[in-house]
Amino acid sequence: MAQRIPKTLSWIGELPGTLRMIDQTRLPEEFVEIDCETVEQVWQAIKRLSVRGAPAIGVSAAYGTVIGLQDATNTSRLEFDQKLNEVTDYLASSRPTAVNLFWALERMKNVVSGIPAASPAEVLLRLLEEARAIESEDREMCAAIGRHGAPLMPNQGGVLTHCNAGGLATAGDGTALSVLFAAASVGKKIHVFADETRPLLQGARLTAWECQQRDVPVTVICDSMAALVMREKKVQAVVTGADRIAANGDAANKVGTYSVAVLAKAHGVPFYVAAPSSTFDLSLASGDLIPIEERTRDEISHGFGKQIVPDGVDVWNPAFDVTPAAFIAGIITERGVIAPVSSESVAAMLGT
């Protein structure tokens, strides 16, 4: 089944190569792929959300680093290393909240600093290997999250998700959606309720598309209908992804996730977060310290081509919100499920 699912990201060629990605801003109307040949194209693709989702951003940034350096092999090692810093600083400026972005760039830099005697050409080759390793580890991570999460899903019932923590957000099957796809693949009859996820509608556009690609039944609802879906007992669990998780388990994710978590608690529905261990930022004691990106007015006021807010009226557009650990029944990682969620259980799972 996996073969017929288009890949979110692929490296085309060897060196020099290009990064091919599905342009997620065009789905579901059109299936279009973009070939990034310059680091500016990768930066733009991340910034304008052609590629989105913390793991996919990390993989893109890793390949973006290769792209940014593949014309620099005829320089000195010193110049190459300076260029590396420029390229990674530049890529880091594309999305401030996505911790995987910084994590992937740090990993690329560590490769370079670990081989001080290598030539620029040798370093570049090693960077491509590292980017490929990040990609394949991401794919394995998705599969492991699916295995750990599937037993938590109902055998016959509904599961609500918000935004898109699917294959389009990763190099593999996704995080939250991997749990659902893994449950479906072991024979559980699951019906997905996908919040459309304003303002950028990743749920309606992307989660629905992925479920359809994998023949998992899905119903799209407006975000404001999630409470009613819970009240009518149409769902027995909620699973979302996360963009950054603090040491105490507080989880930042797409705006609206906190709303879903509060509603789930009020209706006695377990709320799970599915995210790789790389999503944890143990330098932050709690979610209050997670910086929240505010995005532009027009995503709300002119979303999808039509003006819907009068000129001159204020709009608030935080891209993320933080769900306190107390609302989270469990965090499903590639290493296992953290439950109940606390600083202690997080530390125990992450081995810190």
Report the catalytic residues: 243
H-helix segments, 186-297:
202, 208-213, 226-231, 257-266
**What is the C-alpha to C-alpha distance for residues 38 and 45, in angstroms, rounded to an integer?**
11
Cβ 180 to its own copies, closest distance in Å?
A: 15
- Scanning residues 11 to 30, which ones bind its own copies (CB under 8 A)? 27-29
Interacting residue with its own copies among 2, 266, 285, 348 (CB under 8 A)? 266
**What is the C-alpha to C-alpha distance for residues 80 and 95, in angstroms, rounded to an integer?**
25
Quick note: the x/- pattern for its own copies over 172-201, rule CB under 8 A, is ---------------------x-xxxxx-x
Which of 131-139, 172-180, 245-253, 295-303 is the region at the interface with its own copies (rule: CB under 8 A)? 295-303
The answer for residues whose C-beta is within 8 angstroms of residue 45's C-beta and 6 or more apart is 21, 23, 34, 36, 51, 60
Residue 149: φ, ψ to 5°:
-85, -30
Contact status: 243 vs its own copies (CB under 8 A): no
Contact 237, 192 (CB under 8 A): no
Which of 82-90, 172-180, 239-247, 259-267 is the region at the interface with its own copies (rule: CB under 8 A)? 259-267
Contact 243, 322 (CB under 8 A): no
Interacting residue with its own copies among 263, 290, 329, 349 (CB under 8 A)? 263
Give the CA-trace dihedral at 323, 326, 330, 331, to 10 degrees.
40
Which of 87-95, 225-233, 235-243, 282-290 is the region at the interface with its own copies (rule: CB under 8 A)? 225-233
- Scanning residues 101 to 130, which ones bind its own copies (CB under 8 A)? none
Contact status: 311 vs its own copies (CB under 8 A): yes
CB-CB neighbours of 348 under 10 Å: 12
Residues that bind its own copies (CB under 8 A): 27-29, 162, 193, 195-199, 201, 204-205, 208-209, 211-212, 217-229, 231, 255-256, 258-260, 262-263, 265-266, 300-301, 303-318, 321
